Structures are given as C-alpha cells and as structure tokens.
Amino acid sequence: MQPPPTPALRLFEPVRLGRYDLPHRIIMAPLTRSRAGQPGNVPTALNACYYAQRTSAALIVSEATQVSMQGQGYAWTPGIHSREQVDGWRLVTQAVHQAGGLIFNQLWHVGRISHPALQPDQMLPVAPSAIRPKGEAFIENEDGEPELVPFVTPRALQIEEMPYLVRQYSRGARNALASGFDGVEVHGANGYLLEQFIASGTNRRDDLYGGTIANRARLLMHVVEAVSEVWGPDRVGVRLSPLSTFNDIRDDDPESTFGHIAERLSDFRLAYLHVVNPAAEAIEHGTKPDPRAMRMVDLIRECYRGTLMLAGGFDRDTAEAWLERGKADLIAFGRKFLANPDLPERFRLGAPLNADDPATYYGGGAKGYTDYPTLAQERGEQPWPCVDERWR
C-alpha cells in the first residue's frame, strides 16, 4: 500500500538546523522522566528504547541532564559527569542513530532548585544569591520512595567559583560528544541556575555577575562560549523561557533582559534558539494571548537573527498557524511526544492522539514510558516493543 501523501503543511517542510538538514519541523521537546539507572543516575537500555521509539522527531532534545552532582535537583535524573553515564548515554545515542534519529543533550545545572538530600555530602544548593525559592524539591526518601520537601535557602556562589561553573558545562559538553550525541542544548530556561543569574528577582549580586543586564547574562554567555568551543556553535542550541514564573523566577524588566540576550546570542551563530512560548497557555486553551506575551514573542523574533524554535501548548493546527505567520521556524512538542512516539505520522494523517498520563511522568519503569502505542502497533503491523517485565 502506498503511504498517503504528505500534506502541504509548513510543518512538513525541510529546514536547515546549524550543521544538519531536518526533514520536517516537528521537534521532541526536552522531558525529564526521572528513570535513570541507580545508583549513579546512569542512562539504561530502557531509556535507550524510549528515545529510539521517538526518532521520527526531526530532532530529539534529551531530558535535562545534570552537568555535575551539584547541578542535580530531582531524584533519578541522568547526569553527564561520570564515565558510567557517558557509557549509558552511548546506549541511547546508538539506538537513536540506528533508528535514523538525531539527538541533542540538554545540559543542566539546577542552582537553588535542589536540596541537600540531592547534593554531594548533603551540602547546600548554590545560587547567585541566598534567596530561598517557594515550593518543594523532589527527592528520594530513606525508603527509596519519591517525596516532596520544602526548598532550603541556597548558598550564594563566590565570584572565585564562576570559572568552575563554566568548567562543569564544558566537561558536560565534552562528555556529550564522547557519548555520541549530535549536539547540545544549554538549558537557560525554567528558573534553573542560568536563569537565576539572568532574572533580577533571584540575582542580588553587586559584582561582575549581577546588576546590569550584561552582568546578569554573563554566565550564560560564558557557558555558551565554552560549549561552542567543544561542539562548534552550529551544533549548539540555547533554551530560554521569558515571562515564565516557574520555579519562583521573576524579572523586573523582561523585555530589556530578553531583548539583550537574544541580540547577544545571535552573534554566536548557533544552531537554534529555543523559547518556551510565553503564550503557551492561551494557545493550549484557545484563548486570546496576553499582549505582553505576544510582544515578547515578536521581540525575540526581531532581536534573534537565526533559527527559532518555539515550544508550549501547540497542537498540529496551532503549530502550523504559528509557522505560517512566521513566528518560528520549528515547533517542539512535549506532552504530545511523550504520549505519541509516532507524533509526526499522526500529524501527517490527522490521526487521533494518545492522551498523556501525568501520574507516570516521573519515576517508575516502562509503564507510561515505553508502552504508549504507535498507530502501526495498533494496526498490528509492528510488534508491541519494549515492555520488558524486568523494567517495570
């Protein structure tokens, strides 16, 4: 049987991404799943299976991956700082490449979004300033179960430690290269370390890393520079989340802050800039976006001279409409990719989507991870793979 023709959608137009030619514009967004092997937060064969199932994405951005023990903020997330983790990630990249996919590693340091229970020697998490975030950390308790515990007041980093932070990212970048990834995405979004420096609400420093926008963006720029030296800028992306308040983040003047950062990042000639869409909720619920959110989307498009990826709240039709209106070049899908390993195929056919199950987002085994069916499996044309009882 002939496959049905690809619809004439912008989503299915090829696009250049830094060093790579992508067959379409549907990206898998980074998704933390807290299923790394223990002890040691090491990627496993089950993780490799999950990613290999999703290689119809034009690009997979891996789950956030801590660049150091200090950079960890949630139980069971994978790292990229030990030899075992590099070997574990190699399983993942080989499986993805065998299935014809492309995968970038998202490099992560959580800063204050952590807890002594997750830190080496139970030390305090680090941050630009000693300001405690509202909310709770996701840790493993003494019974090996997940537990939410209140955040603590972090320790403010000393200026002498800044080169060490940058070195954590360059080591992560080198390890990602050794693991066989195709590139890296610097996680500058969602209220983690780099955004804690960027945002005026979490950065009260009066040294070279605080105060002016250029100073607050300095660590991000140093990290992007260091990582680009390892990979070449055309295999490096950066993720930002302007206007988001996730993880208790706040900036006094986001338009100036993110306008400046988008301009400065343009100079690197990166593979892409990835923005968590500030209008995500409105898109998802079909309501009118806040004008502030739309101004931010337009500002970034104007200030960033390069390939722009947007994520957040999209379905096939809204993604298509936003591409059509020139708001972005690529669209990343999170929860829809989590629940639909063959998302591009479903979009191509206009087929119904599996619903995602939030109860199995974080932790556990194959259930809610590798057992979401593809259309081909539902039709009985493919074996139902990767639900090995030992992995449950």
Ligand X SMILES: Cc1cc2nc3c(=O)[nH]c(=O)nc-3n(C[C@H](O)[C@H](O)[C@H](O)COP(=O)(O)O)c2cc1C
Q: Name the residue whose CB lies closest to ligand X.
A: 334
Q: Encode burial over 365-379: b for 16+ CB neighbours within 10 A, e otherwise.
A: bbebbbbbbbbebee
66: contact with ligand X by CB under 6 A: no
Rank residues 13 and 284 by Cβ distance to ligand X and give the closer one: 284
Of 23-31, 222-230, 258-266, 302-310, the segment contacting ligand X by CB under 6 A is 23-31
- 3-state SS, residue 365: coil
Contacting residues for 373 by C-beta, under 8 A, at least 6 apart: 354, 384
Beta bridge partners of 53: none
73: contact with ligand X by CB under 6 A: no
* Tokens of residue 46, six digits: 């089950």
State the Cα–Cα distance between residues 51 and 49, nearest whole angstrom. 6
Kindly name the residue from 51, 74, 169, 192 that is annotated as catalytic: 192
114: contact with ligand X by CB under 6 A: no
CB of residue 62 to ligand X, shortest distance in Å: 8
347: contact with ligand X by CB under 6 A: no
Ranges within 360-379 binding ligand X (CB under 6 A):
361
104 sits in which H/E element: strand 103-108
25: contact with ligand X by CB under 6 A: no
CB of residue 207 to ligand X, shortest distance in Å: 28
Rank residues 4 and 361 by Cβ distance to ligand X and give the closer one: 361
Ranges within 239-258 binding ligand X (CB under 6 A):
239
Total of chain residues touching ligand X, rule CB under 6 A = 22
Ranges within 152-191 binding ligand X (CB under 6 A):
187, 189-190
- 3-state SS, residue 260: helix
Q: Is 192 a catalytic residue?
A: yes
31: contact with ligand X by CB under 6 A: yes
35 touches 338 (CB < 8 A): no
127: contact with ligand X by CB under 6 A: no
Sole binder of ligand X in the list 26, 27, 29, 217 (CB under 6 A): 29
* Intra-chain end-to-end CA distance of the chain, in Å: 36
Rank residues 285 and 379 by Cβ distance to ligand X and give the closer one: 285
State the Cα–Cα distance between residues 368 and 385, nearest whole angstrom. 13
Rank residues 64 and 204 by Cβ distance to ligand X and give the closer one: 64
342: contact with ligand X by CB under 6 A: no
Tokens 């006094």 belong to residue: 252
One character per residue 274-313, x = contact with ligand X (rule: CB under 6 A): --x---x------------------------------xxx
How distant is the alpha carbon of residue 279 from its chain centre? 18
Among candidates 195, 3, 233, which has minimal Cα distance to 113?
195
State the Cα–Cα distance between residues 5 and 173, nearest whole angstrom. 40
DSSP of 194-250, one letter per residue?
HHHHHSTTT----STTSSSHHHHTHHHHHHHHHHHHHH-GGGEEEEE-TT--TTT--
> Catalytic residues, which ones?
192
Residues that bind ligand X (CB under 6 A): 29-32, 63-64, 106, 187, 189-190, 239, 276, 280, 311-314, 333-336, 361
